[in-house]
Structure 1
């Protein structure tokens, strides 16, 4: 039975079983709407990144890290294992470079998802934290970036029962981070069916350090992107199914206190933060149903949303870019530097555009 037929029959059965509640929930959660094109000037596709670029993060002097080749249930499988690239946004050639990984790491099963870079204030060393799903498991890899030869030295693998379905991560130290779990169950059958049917806010945020691992925030339908404010006093958590960005205050003991939620009107995925303005940049899925079906004849679109003044009484939510899938499908992240916008995807191309 084809995927489209099976899913249609499943939806029909669930709709009959659960009635209007399920239908309304699906429509709301999957944000099924069509896009009006809203393109930016001088957009070009980056070379070597045709297997997706699920997450992108930019640090000092325009150095970007890009994860590519994610294999995720329900999405098209990439050709071969995942990779990490760097990109110098100050170089007009805009040429991504594949980072070599130290031999003590299993590259064959590398399946990178969310990433976060941490620059040590004591010695300026760069550490890259990567969510990894080898054999569809869940763990975090910690690398040290060796800038001289564009390589990653694998330092350690972190596993914990609370880190059972990690989606994204934000490092807050050389060995500490916050991470989102995007599912309550770890079994694929439960995550793809039972959680969809029950539609409960069961996912969470976990704080990890060698001496302290605990759930610090919960109550999300599907906790996805996570990042910090420039002053590190607040965290932003994206609930992709509830179409909100949650603002949380970070306490001295690393606990999180909810402040508010800001509606973004789309299924937003990862969140990047401008270190100077504090603006939030989100790669979003305007039609989750099309993303779920992955039909190239009716492709999922892409959307980039910016949130300005998120801590004010009236945050400004703006659509910066939109495409119906003819140019770029399934945008998952957006990041800016020097007047340019990088747009990454779950399984498709990577685009760089001028903002003006």
Structure 2
């Protein structure tokens, strides 16, 4: 009896260990193994009275430690996997953001709305000729009364070295000038106007605007010229009175403002007031690149009421040209990047000069300066079919860049063009009614850039189209067909 009890006690731990080993071998996962192992060892201790006093099996400790290490390793692997997933998600978001940015830049700078292959100048009779060999004729203003074209000129040799790009950052050796060109002499030579009462030796004219009025005291007709001067000390609007007898420009006033950041063009409302466009919000060229690449619309239109300046339009996408209707009731602003001409209605409050949006006219090219026919109200628009080529040309990497001129014809009410929506009726919503078109866009001039590259302005006079460019050293004068 004693022998049988002793044999039973001796056999019991062996059975327990065998069951433990079997459980370890048959376990489906390390977690099950660890749980089962711990349970088996505990039952072995409880079932054997002498187990508490016996020494621990080194093999069991080694296996337990190995199992715990495997569990720790598995947990670390799972945590690492989760961290890797989060990291991959963040990287994917960054890559997607960069992709969207590159796509936006590609669409803005590479793709164009009206990219065309031009082999020669088209749309004209072919009797285009170069005239007025002056450097960088960036803007043209037509005076029908004097039969003159006022032309702003600058050689822009400072552009590459300037940190501003739109104006020199240091004093230049040569200044720009204002020229007049007799329109009734097709091959007439330009005449440089002398500046009177102008003490600054830093003159780089760009956008201009003419305004004719009658002097209240002398009752004489006077011509006043508003000029944007890209001085290296800061952008200034110089207001001159023109004298045809002496061929001079006499300074009336210089207008400075912190709101003149990157002024491009100007339109005079009366003898004192004007609107001015800032095509970028950052004056340095690196900030301009950031604005263009990101597609951020930060351009503004500033109003000067004769005493002070303030913004009347904001968040415009590169507003370049600005002009007014002959009756003064509308203001036109070109959006270079949006490829449209915005039409605004003026208000009666001349102190504030607020503008109310009327309509946008799609041009399809990158729109530059605007000129208005004072007889018909038609708008002549200089534009660039390819911005990438235009930019490389401006930076000196392309010898020429295409030029394109369109006319936005103002229609009489009886000639309004009806529009019909392409949308169908949806449920109880009727098809939207579209207003009739009051403007019609017509192509006038194409060129691959051989006769004039990257035209910045196109002015009309007596069935002649006069084109200028800040990157050329001449004007181009063409006769339009009668049907144009």
Q: Quick check: TM above 0.5?
A: yes
Residue number in structure 2 paired with 1:21:
104
Q: Distance in 2 between matches of 1:213 and 1:89?
A: 35
> Which of 358, 369, 374 is the aligned partner of 1:270?
369
> Given the superposition, is the C-alpha separation of residues 113 and 136 from structure 1 closer, same or farther in structure 2, using an over 3 Å criterion?
farther
Which residue number corresponds to residue 354 of structure 1?
Answer: 479
1:34 Cα deviation after fit: 3.5
Quote the Cα distance in structure 1 between the aligned partners of 2:293 and 2:479.
42
Aligned to 2:226: 129
- What is the root-mean-square deviation in Å for CA atoms of aligned residues? 2.5
CA displacement at 1:197 relative to structure 2? 2.6
Whether the aligned pair in 2 keeps the contact of 1:34 and 1:287 (CA below 8 Å) is: no
Match of 2:379 in 1: 280
- Which of the pair is proportionally richer in strand? 1
C-alpha separation in 2, matches of 1:160 and 1:248: 24
- Per the normalisation by structure 2, the TM-score is 0.65
How has the CA–CA distance of structure 1 residues 188 and 316 changed in structure 2, closer, same or farther, with 3 Å as cutoff? same
Distance (Å, rounded) in 2 between the aligned partners of 1:159 and 1:29: 37
The superposition leaves residues 26-60 of structure 1 with CA deviations (integer Å, 9 ceiling, x where unpaired) of 335796553353153321211332x1211101022
Bigger Cα Rg: 2
2:272 matches 1:175: yes
Listed one character per residue, the Cα deviations across residues 273-326 of structure 1 (whole Å, up to 9, x for unaligned) are 111111100111112211211257652011111111268533221111111011
- Among candidates 357, 360, 363, match of residue 258 of structure 1: 357
Higher relative contact order (CA 8 A, sep 6+): 1
1:149 alignment partner, SS class: coil
Is the deviation greater in 55-64 or in 252-261?
Answer: 55-64
**Distance in 2 (alpha carbons) for counterparts of 1:80 and 1:324:** 30
Other-structure match for 1:113: 206
1:204-253 CA-to-partner distances (Å, cap 9, x unmatched) read: 11110233422112231101100001111000000011100000000011
The structure-2 alpha-carbon separation of the partners of 1:19 and 1:241, relative to structure 1 and needing over 3 Å to count, comes to: closer
Residue by residue, what CA displacement relative to the aligned partner does 1:135-171 show, whole Å, maximum 9, x if unpaired?
1731111111111011111222111111221110001
Between 233-242 and 91-100, report the one with greater CA deviation. Answer: 91-100
Partner of 1:7: none
**1:308 equivalent in alignment to 2:409:** yes
Give me the whole-angstrom Cα distance separating, in 2, the residues matched to 1:263 and 1:101: 40
Matched residue, 1:102 = 196
Measured after TM superposition, the shift of residue 19 of structure 1 is 3.6
Which residue of structure 2 lines up, in the alignment, with residue 213 of structure 1? Answer: 309
Whether 1:291 aligns to 2:385 is no
Instruction: Report the Cα distance in structure 2 between the residues aligned to 1:268 and 1:35, rounded to whole angstroms.
Output: 18
* 2:139/2:151 contact within 8 Å kept: yes
Distance 2:260 2:388 in 1: 28
Check the 8 A contact 2:381/2:457 in 1, yes or no. Answer: yes
Distance 2:208 2:443 in 1: 24
Instruction: Give distance in 2, aligned partners of 1:164 and 1:21.
Output: 25
In 1, distance between residues paired with 2:355 and 2:371?
19
Secondary structure of residue in 2 paired with 1:173: coil
Secondary structure of 1:290 counterpart: helix
- Report the CA distance between 1:174 and its aligned residue: 1.4
- Aligned with 1:303: secondary structure? strand
Question: Given the alignment, which residue of 105, 113, 117 partners 1:34?
Answer: 117
Residue deviations 1:96-147, cap 9 Å, x none?
111111253324x211110001111343211111011111731111111111
Show the counterpart of 1:223: 319
Are 2:105 and 2:293, in contact at CA under 8 Å, matched by a contact in 1? yes
Verify: 1:82 aligned to 2:176, yes or no. yes
Aligned counterparts of 2:355 and 2:197: Cα–Cα separation in 1 = 38
2:459 pairs, out of 310, 316, 335, with 335
Query: How far apart, CA to CA, are the structure 1 residues paired with 2:385 and 2:233?
Result: 26
Verify: 1:164 aligned to 2:264, yes or no. Answer: no
Task: Tell me: CA distance 1:181–1:30, structure 2 relative to 1, closer, same or farther (3 Å).
Answer: farther
For residues 309-344 of structure 1, what are the alpha-carbon distances to aligned partners after superposition, in whole Å with 9 as ceiling and x for unaligned? 268533221111111011111101111111211001
Structure 1: segments with no counterpart, 5+ residues = 1-13
